[in-house]
Amino acid sequence: MKPSRRAAHIGPFKAPESAALIAAALREDLGRGDLTTRLTVGPRVRARAVLLARRAGVAAGLTVFASVFRRLDPRVRVRLLAREGQAFPMGAVLARLQGPARALLSGERVALNFAQRLCGVATLTKAFVDAARARSRSVAVLDTRKTTPLMRALEKYAVACGGGLNHRRGLDDAVLIKDNHIKAAGSVAAAVRRACLGGLPVQVEVEDDAELEEALEAGAGSVLLDNFTPARLRRAVERVRLFKRASGRRVLVEASGGVTLKTIGAFAATGVDRISVGALTHSAPALDLSMEFELR
């Protein structure tokens, strides 16, 4: 991998603003100060380190990794060797660092926590996208709102680095009518008709064929078929196609529920437009990365 010339912006992806989150993470970890480093390492000692991939994966959040050290001490220099969204093999050196040893040691855990988490999300996302695209070149894999509190922007960014698409970022971002909205409104049709008055595209989650019919007739622009088997999904997709031909309306079909790496191919083959997978963020394992130090 060729080293990047600048660490501030890598490739087509740019991490969302994370200064406040980094500051909070450092406060949480450092508290009143890094006692061990302060007692064992002199203030003038300088060091070098590398960020090493112990497993193959997809890069995400390396700019955040670098920002942790710069916040601790602007004298730390970080050279990123992987682009955001780039796949890398086990053993790859993803970054080189040099500067005051105290800053490198004190920032190591927080920086690794961000990088391991975000690379893990991107890596799992790519696995899901690859498995889906093996059965359908047009299907999109989306995330959900099942994210770590206060980490949503970064985790959704990592999903994009892995080739996935972002569903709504928050409750103010799009209209998605779910089962409890339907219960509160009285019916699928009542909920959809009221939501359509807002002038925004309306997506509704349906759990059976009857709710699907109700949503289509009420004017939903997108249907989220929740916990349908691939066989039921295929029939529902065909029903939506017939409805679109007859009505001239565009209706997106999204599947969710019960989607795993083993099953996503079968879901993709049904002809759905999108598949949403909460596991991209709520179940992604941290990628094994480490920082290796050497004194200058």
Report the interhelical angle of 101-133 vs 19-30 (nearest 10°).
Answer: 120
In this structure, which amino acid lies at residue 69?
F
- Structure tokens of 177? 């009518």
Q: How confident is the model at residue 14 (pLDDT cuts 50, 70, 90)?
A: confident
Q: Residue 208 catalytic?
A: no
Q: 140-158 burial by CB neighbour count: b if 16+ within 10 A, else e?
A: bbbbbbebeeebbbbbbbb
Q: How confident is the model at residue 113 (pLDDT cuts 50, 70, 90)?
A: very high
pTM of the model: 0.93
In a domain, 155, yes or no: yes
Residues above pLDDT 70, as percent of the chain: 96
- Would you state the pLDDT for residue 11? 52
pLDDT 10s digits, 242-264: 999 999 999 999 999 999 999 99
- Phi–psi pair at 225, nearest 5 degrees: -85, 105
In a domain, 12, yes or no: no
Q: Residue 226 catalytic?
A: yes
Same domain, 107 and 146: no
Q: How far, in Å, CA of 141 to CA of 235, rounded?
A: 20
- Would you state the pLDDT for residue 6? 34
pLDDT of 9 higher than 80: no
Q: Residue 179 catalytic?
A: no
- pLDDT averaged over the chain? 94
pLDDT 10s digits, 54-71: 999 999 999 999 999 999
Same domain, 142 and 256: yes
In a domain, 92, yes or no: yes
**Between 25 and 16, the higher pLDDT residue:** 25
First to last CA, the chain: 24
> Mean per-residue pLDDT for 226-235?
96
Q: How confident is the model at residue 38 (pLDDT cuts 50, 70, 90)?
A: very high
Same domain, 256 and 166: yes
In a domain, 147, yes or no: yes
Q: Residue 71 catalytic?
A: no
- Active-site residue among 38, 178, 183, 241? 178
The residues near 58 (Cβ < 8 Å, ≥ 6 apart) are: 85, 86, 87, 88, 119, 122, 123, 125, 126, 161, 162
> Mean per-residue pLDDT for 220-241?
96
The residue segments making up the domain with residue 154 are 131-282
In a domain, 7, yes or no: no
Same domain, 149 and 53: no
In a domain, 8, yes or no: no
- Would you state the pLDDT for residue 294? 82
- Active-site residue among 55, 133, 146, 169? 146
- Active-site residue among 48, 55, 109, 194? 109
Same domain, 270 and 290: no
Beta bridge partners of 256: 226
CA angle 264, 269, 272 (to 5 degrees): 85
- Active-site residue among 34, 108, 211, 226? 226
- Structure tokens of 2? 């060729």
- Would you state the pLDDT for residue 213? 96
How many CB atoms sit inside 10 A of residue 172's CB?
A: 6
Same domain, 109 and 136: no
> Mean per-residue pLDDT for 95-104?
97
Q: Residue 2 catalytic?
A: no
Please give the radius of gyration of the chain, using alpha carbons only, rounded to the nearest integer.
23
